[in-house]
């Protein structure tokens, strides 16, 4: 996927060059990564074992948590290794593959968040037709199309970033292979590549944002017309977790990518950490702590596990009856 480059490897400068702060940062981000894996895998398992969560909303949520696992795994292990290693080199092909996977998972997450907003729109605005409109077949079609469209975007953006010539310095001022720091190292003219990437990012992020915004405008209009205060509270509670996740994710994405290249600065690393490392950790907590159905299913699963453990423990303590046949009968 490369062009006429002469470089065979890059050097990632990482989050910080201070030796004193690298070990504490390693422990901190390792903890975040472990919590991310446990939390997201836990959500997937909970949805699979809880019949009450077998709905389109949680179908999309399982794919979102799967994307968060992959999204974080593309970035975090390499970042953790670089925090403890003096050798921070990454080959050209590895850098290309990291960006390709990062672009694919980030684009897919945008689409999934938009689909979840549309799902909430149908659930509140047309509850009687919800099962018909958001059928199992429609869910799979929406998810499959999001994966396909995201892959096409990732391929195009990766070619725009790595398709030029790299013959100068090879130090990437970032902790992973991202658009702006890599394009700064290109020897060839990158203006057309920047315009193509900006166009696709705009279509992807702004397009998803418009769908989410229109969905929530219609939801708000519908909710405000409800007569019952309890119904309004239930509707707002249904959308609160998704709206929180959307605000954090798209806020950091807009800050990072939809600004002129000349305005990029050191705060970009902070924004990148938020949407590549922190948000995948927060999503399970956002969707579990603010969602009554998830909390109810989690409590029910916990009770089942506790009862099973208690039952097994009681069985293991029962006295075993043994018979000695060696003495014969009297």
- What tens digit of pLDDT does each residue of 7-17 get? 788 999 888 87
Residues in the chain, overall count: 330
- What tens digit of pLDDT does each residue of 61-112 get? 899 999 999 989 999 999 999 998 888 899 999 999 999 999 999 999 989 9
Mean pLDDT, residues 116-131: 85
Is there a contact between 180 and 264 (Cβ–Cβ < 8 Å)? yes
Mean pLDDT, residues 124-151: 90
Cα distances (angstroms) measured from residue 194 to each of 22, 140, 209:
33, 33, 21
Sign of the four-CA dihedral 149, 151, 157, 159 = negative
- What tens digit of pLDDT does each residue of 246-297 get? 777 777 776 666 555 555 555 678 878 888 888 888 888 877 766 667 777 7
pLDDT at residue 36 greater than cutoff 90: yes
CA-nearest of 122, 105, 133, 113 to 212 is: 113
Location of structure tokens 């092909």: 93
CA-nearest of 92, 90, 88, 89 to 8 is: 92
Mean pLDDT, residues 48-62: 87
C-alpha–C-alpha distance, residues 47 and 95, integer Å: 35
CATH (residue range 17-302): 1.20.1070.10
C-alpha–C-alpha distance, residues 151 and 149, integer Å: 5
The domains of the chain are located at 17-302
Q: What's the burial of 284, exposed, middle or buried (CB within 10 Å: 0-12/13-18/19+)?
A: buried
- What tens digit of pLDDT does each residue of 168-183 get? 788 998 899 988 889 8
C-alpha–C-alpha distance, residues 187 and 168, integer Å: 7
Question: Which pLDDT belongs to residue 258?
Answer: 58
**Mean pLDDT taken over the chain:** 81
Is there a contact between 130 and 168 (Cβ–Cβ < 8 Å)? no
Is there a contact between 252 and 279 (Cβ–Cβ < 8 Å)? yes
Q: What's the burial of 88, exposed, middle or buried (CB within 10 Å: 0-12/13-18/19+)?
A: middle
Q: Give the rounded percent of residues in the chain with a pLDDT score beyond 90.
A: 28
- Please state the separation of Cα 90 from the chain's center in Å: 24
Helical H segments across the chain, by residue range: 19-49, 56-84, 92-125, 130-133, 136-162, 179-183, 191-201, 207-224, 229-257, 267-273, 279-289, 292-317
């Amino acid at each position: 996927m490369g062009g006429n480059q002469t470089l065979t490897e890059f050097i990632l400068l990482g989050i910080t060059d201070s030796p004193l702060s690298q070990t504490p940062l390693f422990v901190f981000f390792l903890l975040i990564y472990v919590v991310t894996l446990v939390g997201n895998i836990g959500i997937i398992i909970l949805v699979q074992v809880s019949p009450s969560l077998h709905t389109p909303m949680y179908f999309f949520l399982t794919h979102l948590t799967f994307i968060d696992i992959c999204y974080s795994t593309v970035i975090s292990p390499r970042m953790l290794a670089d925090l403890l290693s003096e050798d921070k080199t990454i080959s050209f092909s590895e850098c290309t593959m990291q960006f390709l996977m990062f672009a694919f998972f980030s684009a897919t997450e945008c689409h999934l968040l938009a689909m979840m907003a549309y799902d909430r729109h149908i659930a509140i605005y047309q509850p009687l037709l919800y099962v018909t409109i958001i059928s199992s077949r429609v869910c799979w079609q929406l998810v499959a199309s999001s994966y396909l469209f995201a892959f096409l975007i990732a391929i195009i953006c990766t070619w725009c970033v790595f398709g030029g010539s790299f013959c100068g310095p090879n130090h990437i001022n970032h902790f992973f292979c991202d658009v702006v720091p890599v394009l700064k190292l290109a020897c060839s003219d990158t203006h057309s590549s920047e315009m193509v990437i900006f166009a696709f990012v705009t279509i992807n992020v702004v397009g998803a944002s418009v769908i989410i915004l229109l969905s929530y405008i219609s939801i708000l209009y519908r909710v405000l017309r409800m007569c019952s205060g309890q119904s309004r509270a239930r509707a707002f509670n249904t959308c609160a977790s998704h709206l929180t996740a959307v605000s954090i994710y798209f806020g950091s994405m807009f800050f990072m990518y939809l600004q002129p290249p000349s305005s990029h600065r050191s705060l970009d690393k902070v924004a990148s950490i938020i949407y590549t490392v922190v948000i995948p950790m927060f999503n399970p907590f956002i969707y579990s702590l603010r969602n009554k159905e998830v909390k109810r299913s989690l409590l029910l699963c916990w009770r089942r596990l506790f009862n099973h453990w208690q039952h097994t423990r009681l069985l293991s303590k029962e006295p075993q009856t043994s018979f000695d046949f060696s003495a014969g009968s009297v």
